[in-house]
Chain A
Amino acid sequence: DIVMTQSPLSLPVIPGEPASISCRSSQSLLHSNGYTYLDWYLQKPGQAPQLLIYLASNRASGVPDRFSGSGSGTDFTLKISRVEAEDVGVYYCVQVLQTPYTFGPGTKVDIK
């Protein structure tokens, strides 16, 4: 199975400041079709996860442009340009290159 790691696991943030979460996979997530099979989700307290980024760098419909995804191969980053209070929750990266799809352990973001 592909192992996903994230850092940090806890991230206190100040509203208006930027934030960054790192995600690493145990093997390359580059598919033969040229796409990178890495997605990002945010799970707000008491809610189902919601899609933020797919194929490493594509923002999902309705996701504010302060969220961006980057990276390739085995190293990926989710950036929030200016954190807002509504961004608190747990952020997960997930590899969807091969089954079983595997999630990172999550990064808990809260307001400092």
Chain B
Amino acid sequence: QVQLVQSGAEVKKPGASVKVSCKASGYTFTGFHIHWVRQAPGQGLEWMGWIHSNSGDTRYAQKFQGRVTLTRDTSVTTAYMELSSLTSDDTAAYYCARDDSYAPGTYFDYWGQGTLVTVSS
């Protein structure tokens, strides 16, 4: 069955970086985009960007441009999200989600369980 399993919770100091992984299984990894969406405590959902798992092409929300890097390793069917220069505003649950690269539209049919990143001094 399709699964996206994310790495565990992280606690970081302001100014540091965090790298979250998203291990995919149960489907052809290279046929899907991986998107990253975050959710601050008690808040709504915010799209950060996507990576094409085959080509490695990326698209980032302008808000995160220069601070976020999406990568993937097809040999281990894993996508990564690295966010740098962390501030307390980056405290959030970070989700990965897949989207069929070849279907019309964009929709996230499977999600990871979320990774809580806490930024605190």
- A: residues with CB less than 8 A from B are 31, 33, 35, 37, 39, 41, 43, 48-51, 54-55, 60-61, 92, 94, 96, 99-106
Contacts and interface: CB of A to CB of B under 8 A. Distances in A.
Contacts of B37: 49
B interface secondary structure, majority: loop
A55 B107 contact: yes
A94 B45 contact: yes
Contacts, number: 64
Interface stretch (B8-16, B23-31, B58-66, B74-82): B58-66
Most central of A31, A51, A61 by chain B CB within 10 Å? A51
Given A35-B104, A55-B104, A105 B109 contact: no
Contact of A103 (B45, B97, B105, B111): B45
Contacts of A37: 105-106
Nearest to A105: B44
Contact of B105 (A35, A48, A92, A106): A35
Chain B, interface size: which category? Answer: 20 to 34
> Which applies to chain A's interface (DSSP): helix, strand, loop or mixed?
loop
A49 B108 CA distance: 9
A103 B46 contact: yes
B104 A33 contact: yes
A5 B63 CA distance: 20
Contacts of B106: 37, 39, 96, 101
